[in-house]
Structure 1
Amino acid sequence: MDIQNLSASERILLAQQLWDSVHDSANEILVTPEQQAVLDQRLAALALDAHLGDDWKDVKRRITSA
């Protein structure tokens, strides 16, 4: 299949189908012990962080005022 010959909407549909196929088999993706350790560390750091981020309103204001 020559993807470049597809229209933009056809490529979007193809990407959507690819994503759906990956999402449907997400439980089959293995995580190494090292990756699990990193994920666990990040979750622990998130749980300790009192500042979980900014409101969308504030982020949008910073982006649009630049």
Structure 2
Amino acid sequence: MTEKPSHPDHSDPPRAPHDAAEERRRAEFAYRLTRDVFGRYYWNDRLQDEVLAAMKKRQ
């Protein structure tokens, strides 16, 4: 997963430190739901496997 380059014109406000874990959890969930060409969302199993593997490594 590559980080999006931060845009100077719409940069995020600084986040409170306690938000970090929740943000990461939401980001991981969002990456697993992938949008197809018609704008419908579907579950991306390959990405889910990558996320689960990363979580196992973190433990």
TM-score normalised to structure 1 length: 0.30
Report which structure shows greater RCO (CA 8 Å, sep ≥6). 2
Q: Which has the larger radius of gyration?
A: 1
Taking structure 2 as the reference length, what is the TM-score of the superposition?
0.32
Higher helix proportion, which one? Answer: 1
Larger strand percent: 2
